[in-house]
């Protein structure tokens, strides 16, 4: 029977550990503050922002909320980010993506101070990850490493295949798995013989954004399968990039959707905020 990796429990454990750490820092007079900026009122973004604020509250991190109208100009947003960069009371800055079409996301990400870039998207942090230096790491891939480690799954020496090469999941994931001494293959839409390549994996990480794309014929018997995808059916029930029911009998461990990778992203964001405050001491 497959071991179901419980992302909800693991993320709650991490949040509880952080809560204790934050309380101890408070006793030393250290407060942690995250600035959260949302431009426009995209409903999905509002839910994500709301969940991030809730997590801050639970852990004891102050959150400063900036809800800007859709009509905000890029110059106004840049000015706000620069002002938060200069504010010593702000440890982390998060700009909820996607931004409205009239804004250049790359420019906004570059404007955030790398020391406050708790999403780990700034090119300096991305570069640091690829050359093995310290820096903030993108939260979803960082969360997947925690899921594997806390589930007692050995990474070192394993064949890891990652399907998807996005800047926020696939690419940083590959760097993290390499750092953990896995042998890493990255696949994308131009990969030939995807099924055969995926079947080499001891650990298969799927981040392609295609509903139930990965079926049993992509999976080696006994592999560990990590499903990053999030989709919703007509009843608003979420499911992943992996056909869970189809692969379940063939894997040794698997993350469910919901309750697998999803909850880890916010937990790791909170960890990055605590790390941001510690690095400034």
Label residues 32-43 b or e (16+ Cβ within 10 Å = b). bbbbbbbbbebe
Please state the length of the chain.
Answer: 281
Shortest Cβ distance from residue 7 to ligand NAP (Å)? 9
Q: Is 176 left (phi over 0), alpha (psi -120 to 50) or beta?
A: alpha
Which tokens sit at 100? 């409205």
Q: Which of 71, 133, 189, 279 binds ligand NAP (CB under 6 A)?
A: 189
User: CA–CA separation, 235 vs 8, rounded Å?
Assistant: 21
Shortest Cβ distance from residue 85 to ligand NAP (Å)? 25
Q: Which of 170, 243, 253, 256 binds ligand NAP (CB under 6 A)?
A: 170
> Which residue among the candidates 6, 38, 117, 119 is catalytic per the annotation?
119
Q: Which of 32, 108, 126, 207 binds ligand NAP (CB under 6 A)?
A: 207
Identity of the residue, 90 or 261, whose beta carbon is nearer to ligand NAP in the bound complex: 261
User: CA–CA separation, 65 vs 49, rounded Å?
Assistant: 9
Identity of the residue, 66 or 218, whose beta carbon is nearer to ligand NAP in the bound complex: 218
User: Of 79-98, which residues contact ligand NAP (CB under 6 A)?
Assistant: none
| By CB under 6 A, residue 254 contacts ligand NAP | no
User: CA–CA separation, 85 vs 173, rounded Å?
Assistant: 27
Element (H, E) at 259: none
| By CB under 6 A, residue 195 contacts ligand NAP | no
* Contact yes or no for 177/171 (Cβ under 8 A): no
Report the catalytic residues. 52, 96, 119
Q: Which residues bind ligand NAP (CB under 6 A)?
A: 140, 163-166, 168-170, 187-191, 194, 207-210, 228-230, 241, 261-262, 265
């Amino acid at each position: 029977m497959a071991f179901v990796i419980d992302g909800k429990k693991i993320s709650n454990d991490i949040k509880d550990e952080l809560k204790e750490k934050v309380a101890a820092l408070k006793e030393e007079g250290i407060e942690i503050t995250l600035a959260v900026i949302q431009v426009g009122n995209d409903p999905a973004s509002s839910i994500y922002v709301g969940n991030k604020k809730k997590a801050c509250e639970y852990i004891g991190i102050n959150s400063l909320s900036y809800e800007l109208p859709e009509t905000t100009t890029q110059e106004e947003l840049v000015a706000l980010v620069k002002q938060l960069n200069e504010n010593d009371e702000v440890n982390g800055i998060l700009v909820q993506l996607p931004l409205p079409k009239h804004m250049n996301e790359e420019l906004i990400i570059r404007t955030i101070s790398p020391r406050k870039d708790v999403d780990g998207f700034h090119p300096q942090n991305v570069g640091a990850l690829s050359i093995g230096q310290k820096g903030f790491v993108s939260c979803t891939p960082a969360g997947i490493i925690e899921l594997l480690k806390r589930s007692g799954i050995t990474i070192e020496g394993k064949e890891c295949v990652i399907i998807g090469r996005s800047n926020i999941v696939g690419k940083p994931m590959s760097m993290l798995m390499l750092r953990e001494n896995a042998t890493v293959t990255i696949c994308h839409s131009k990969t030939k013989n995807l099924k055969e390549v995926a079947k080499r994996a001891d650990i298969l990480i799927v981040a392609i954004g295609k509903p139930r794309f990965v079926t049993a014929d992509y999976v080696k018997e006994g592999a560990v399968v990590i499903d990053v995808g999030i989709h919703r059916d007509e009843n608003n029930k979420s499911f992943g990039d992996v056909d869970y029911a189809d692969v379940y009998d063939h894997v040794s461990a698997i993350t469910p959707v919901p309750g697998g990778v999803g909850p880890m992203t916010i937990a790791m964001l909170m960890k990055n905020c605590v790390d941001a405050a510690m690095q400034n001491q």
